């Protein structure tokens, strides 16, 4: 579980490194790449205009940086805006090879005569700002009006390889999502959501041909558009991340458990997923609301480890199964229940005693008992070698395959469920380093706090069912007035955790915490381990400090060029007890052992310096 610690700080570090790598890559690819490609495009596409040409570096070509140029082309024909995108790898060009275009045609967009005139008068810079897959409907109005109702106009409109996707808004400010499909000759099928009573915003940067990102209040809703029936398949409600697939609900807020079913909640959401029935006003906005909105009738799961599965009531034992093995109820005979485990084509059935099962939603809160194993044994290559009963080899390109050891057969073979779908067996030696189950996170979890243990504590019941304790130090009034009520949930830990976001040098007056510069943050995480609070992670977005064992920490510095370097330091275990005096001492010691950070908080560059500091502790459940 060490790898799941400090997720919040880790993604900040990753973002910083990503931005640096992108900047370096763009700097490495010269303007000559762009000029070279555009000279070929002018010759090969004489009837087209260029809307944009973007050089960038990504990946490798013959052990050197792969250099690319993305080009957008457009033209107007028969009152249609026609676009295509080109991608060119320039390394072969510089090596004397012929140019190769990776070409994508976008569907044509019907436009009015006034819009034709406006587009044809655009400069390349203006076209680059207005044209791409998502069209700037303010600069290019009167598009695809055949899809609009009388009182509607476009809020967003995108042209992709096989469809137009748009968001309309009517005179009352109410929106709907519209998708129409191109068959190569005409638009022959249109799908629309109902007009929404709850407003939303579409993020064009994170919305593509097969996926839309909608912001609804503080939640993100993802609509999959790649299938025959567009539908909601993933929501991020801040306090949890939930996905919906094939009649199963997955809680991905704690990461992916490759060896246990703790994140699986079988059942069908009671709120509509299909775009044609979408109602954003009834979406759940808290974990308990999601759980309440799952219809789990017809499902049951094994209550405890070493539960017998038989081939018939009172029949022979097929396997001894582990806790939280889910199955669909297919038949009941008195004290016996037949469960079907896995997918319809490649699963299997077995009989269980009724008293050994938890039914419906009662199964949601049974901790998984599947044993863990060496992570290398979960590789697709290894699974293809050891699993018996696979209908086809697992894809080597899929690095998210779930292989659960759900039971043991009488002959000692493992019973394995792959991707909650395919039931297989494996020899005992197929999996090594068999260990205890992965830790269980109960989404209903609540800790019985003794409020007398805290000096300044505020209990808050969120508007959408989110509850948390909030503790303040120093400039508490300032933080109370400016800190948002909804923050991301820190769940990547073994038990209750407190994520501390330490702001340095906050300016006077109200400020959005998300706009506080990255270099003015320190992230620390405390966990309640055994009988006291202990510091487990710390990061300033440039250095990551992670607890290893016995008070020992590993430091990784991301701020210096070249490979990351590591060094170790030891902290007095007494300083890890959760109290304010200990925390202040811990901060002092942290400052003493950390190298100077000139970019942090100006010249001071240390935690705790300055009178405008504010410290927030947040505990969610």
CA distance 18 to 574: 37
Q: Which of 133, 166, 186 is the last residue of a domain?
A: 133
Residues 116 and 148 both lie in one domain: no
Please write the tens of the pLDDT for every residue from 387-404.
999 999 998 887 788 999
Residue 384 has pLDDT above 80, yes or no: yes
Please write the tens of the pLDDT for every residue from 442-473.
655 433 333 332 222 333 333 433 333 333 33
Residues 404 and 506 both lie in one domain: no
Range of the domain at 401: 375-430
Q: Residue 536: its pLDDT value, please?
A: 65
- Using DSSP bridges, classify how beta strands 497-503 and 521-529 pair: parallel, antiparallel or unpaired: antiparallel
The DSSP element (H or E) to which 43 belongs, if any, is helix 31-44
CA distance 352 to 599: 63
Query: 375: pLDDT confidence band, cut at 50, 70 and 90?
Result: confident
Residues 158 and 123 both lie in one domain: no
Residues 496 and 574 both lie in one domain: yes
Q: How many domains does the chain have?
A: 4
Query: 347: pLDDT confidence band, cut at 50, 70 and 90?
Result: very high
Residues 33 and 108 both lie in one domain: yes
Helix, coil or strand: residue 390: coil
Q: Which of 295, 322, 349 is the last residue of a domain?
A: 295
Token pair for residue 431? Answer: 């999996």
CA distance 187 to 159: 12
The mean pLDDT of 108-117, rounded to a whole number, is 95
Segment of 380-389, 504-513, 519-528, 547-556 carrying the highest mean pLDDT: 380-389
- Cα atoms found within 13 Å of the Cα of residue 361, Cβ hemisphere only: 12
Q: Residue 381: its pLDDT value, please?
A: 93
Residues 91 and 125 both lie in one domain: yes
Helix, coil or strand: residue 315: coil
Q: Residue 534: its pLDDT value, please?
A: 58
Residues 423 and 450 both lie in one domain: no
Question: What's the pTM?
Answer: 0.67
Q: Residue 610: its pLDDT value, please?
A: 31
Polymer length in residues for the chain: 621
Assess if residue 435 is contained within a domain. Answer: no
Q: Residue 237: its pLDDT value, please?
A: 83
Residues in Cβ contact with 461 at an 8 Å cutoff, skipping those fewer than 6 apart:
467
- Using DSSP bridges, classify how beta strands 201-202 and 187-192 pair: parallel, antiparallel or unpaired: unpaired
Q: Residue 56: its pLDDT value, please?
A: 87
Query: 439: pLDDT confidence band, cut at 50, 70 and 90?
Result: confident
Residues 64 and 178 both lie in one domain: no
Residues 425 and 457 both lie in one domain: no
Residues 403 and 423 both lie in one domain: yes
Residues 79 and 222 both lie in one domain: no
Residues in Cβ contact with 268 at an 8 Å cutoff, skipping those fewer than 6 apart:
247, 294, 295
Q: Residue 112: its pLDDT value, please?
A: 94
Percent of the chain with pLDDT over 90: 53
Q: Residue 47: its pLDDT value, please?
A: 95
Helix, coil or strand: residue 288: helix
CATH number, position 33: 3.10.450
DSSP state of 2: G
Token pair for residue 6? Answer: 């400090």
Residues 472 and 384 both lie in one domain: no
Residue 606 has pLDDT above 80, yes or no: no
Please write the tens of the pLDDT for every residue from 128-182.
899 988 999 999 999 999 999 999 999 999 999 999 999 999 999 999 999 999 9
Contact of 90 with 33, CB cutoff 8 Å: yes
Assess if residue 227 is contained within a domain. Answer: yes
- Cα atoms found within 13 Å of the Cα of residue 601, Cβ hemisphere only: 21
Asked which of 109-113, 379-383, 477-481 is least confident by mean pLDDT, the reply is 477-481
Helix, coil or strand: residue 359: strand
Assess if residue 366 is contained within a domain. Answer: no
Q: Which of 268, 295, 322 is the last residue of a domain?
A: 295
Please write the tens of the pLDDT for every residue from 288-304.
788 889 999 999 999 99
Helices (H), 75-209: 91-94, 113-120, 124-130
Assess if residue 9 is contained within a domain. Answer: no
Q: Residue 201: its pLDDT value, please?
A: 95
Assess if residue 474 is contained within a domain. Answer: yes
Residue 409 has pLDDT above 80, yes or no: yes
Query: 505: pLDDT confidence band, cut at 50, 70 and 90?
Result: very low
Assess if residue 76 is contained within a domain. Answer: yes
Assess if residue 68 is contained within a domain. Answer: yes
Please write the tens of the pLDDT for every residue from 212-267.
999 998 889 999 998 889 999 999 987 678 999 888 999 887 666 788 898 899 99
Assess if residue 214 is contained within a domain. Answer: yes
Query: 17: pLDDT confidence band, cut at 50, 70 and 90?
Result: very low
**Cα dist. 583→6, 9, 314, 498, 590 in Å?**
18, 19, 60, 13, 10
Residues in Cβ contact with 243 at an 8 Å cutoff, skipping those fewer than 6 apart:
233, 234, 235, 249, 250, 252
Query: 525: pLDDT confidence band, cut at 50, 70 and 90?
Result: low
Asked which of 110-124, 327-341, 488-502 is least confident by mean pLDDT, the reply is 488-502
Q: Residue 349: its pLDDT value, please?
A: 96
């Amino acid at each position: 579980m060490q790898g799941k610690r400090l997720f919040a700080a880790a993604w900040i570090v990753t973002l910083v490194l990503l931005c640096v790598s992108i900047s370096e890559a763009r700097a490495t690819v010269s303007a000559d790449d762009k000029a070279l490609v555009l000279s070929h495009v002018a010759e090969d596409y004489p009837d087209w205009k260029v809307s944009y040409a973007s050089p960038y570096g990504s990946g490798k070509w013959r052990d050197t940086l792969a250099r690319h140029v993305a080009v957008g082309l457009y033209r107007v024909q028969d009152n249609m805006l026609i676009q295509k995108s080109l991608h060119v790898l320039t390394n072969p060009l510089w090596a004397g090879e012929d140019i190769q275009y990776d070409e994508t045609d976008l569907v044509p967009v019907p436009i009015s005569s006034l819009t034709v005139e406006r587009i044809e008068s655009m400069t390349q810079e203006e076209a680059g700002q207005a044209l791409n897959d998502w069209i700037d409907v303010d600069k290019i109005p009167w598009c695809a009006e055949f899809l609009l109702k009388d009182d509607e106009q476009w809020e967003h409109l995108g042209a992709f390889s096989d469809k137009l996707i748009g968001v309309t808004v009517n005179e009352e400010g109410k929106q709907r999502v519209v998708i129409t499909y191109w068959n190569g000759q005409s638009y022959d099928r249109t799908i629309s959501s109902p007009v929404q009573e709850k407003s939303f915003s579409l993020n064009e940067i994170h919305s593509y041909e097969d996926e839309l990102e909608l912001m609804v209040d503080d939640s993100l809703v993802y609509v999959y558009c790649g299938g025959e029936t567009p539908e909601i398949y993933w929501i991020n409600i801040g306090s949890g991340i939930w996905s919906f697939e094939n009649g199963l609900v997955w809680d991905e807020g704690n990461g992916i458990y490759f060896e246990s079913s703790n994140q699986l909640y079988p059942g069908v959401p009671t709120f509509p997923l299909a775009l044609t029935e979408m109602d954003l006003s009834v979406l759940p906005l808290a974990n308990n609301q999601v759980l309440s909105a799952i219809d789990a009738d017809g499902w049951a799961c094994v209550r405890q480890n070493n539960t017998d599965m038989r081939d018939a009531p009172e029949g022979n034992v097929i396997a001894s199964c582990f806790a939280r093995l889910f199955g669909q109820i297919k038949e009941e005979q008195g004290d016996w229940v037949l469960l079907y485990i896995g997918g319809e084509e490649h699963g299997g059935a077995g009989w269980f005693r009724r008293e050994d099962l938890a039914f419906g939603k009662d199964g949601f809160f049974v901790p998984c008992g599947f044993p863990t194993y060496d992570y290398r044994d979960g590789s697709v290559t290894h699974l293809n070698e050891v699993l018996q009963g696979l209908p086809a080899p697992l894809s080597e390109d899929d690095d998210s395959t779930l292989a659960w050891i759900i039971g043991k057969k009488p002959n000692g073979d493992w019973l394995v469920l792959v991707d909650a779908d395919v039931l297989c067996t494996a020899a005992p030696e197929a999996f090594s380093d068999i260990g205890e189950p992965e830790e269980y996170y109960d989404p209903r979890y609540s800790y019985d706090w003794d409020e007398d243990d805290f000096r300044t504590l505020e209990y808050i019941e969120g508007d959408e069912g989110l509850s948390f304790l909030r503790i303040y130090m120093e400039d508490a009034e300032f933080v109370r007035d400016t800190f948002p009520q909804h923050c991301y949930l820190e769940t990547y830990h073994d038990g209750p955790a407190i994520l501390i976001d330490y702001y340095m040098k906050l300016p006077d007056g109200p400020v959005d915490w998300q706009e506080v510069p990255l270099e003015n943050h320190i992230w620390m995480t405390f966990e309640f381990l055994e009988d006291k609070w202990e510091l487990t992670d710390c990061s300033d977005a440039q250095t990551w400090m992670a607890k290893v064992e016995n008070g020992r920490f590993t430091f990784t510095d991301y701020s210096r060029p070249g490979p990351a370097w590591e060094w170790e330091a030891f902290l007095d275990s007494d300083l890890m007890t959760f109290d304010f005096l200990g925390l202040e001492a811990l901060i002092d010691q942290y400052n003493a052992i950390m190298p100077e950070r000139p970019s942090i908080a100006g010249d001071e560059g240390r935690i705790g310096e300055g009178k405008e500091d504010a410290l927030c502790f947040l505990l969610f459940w």
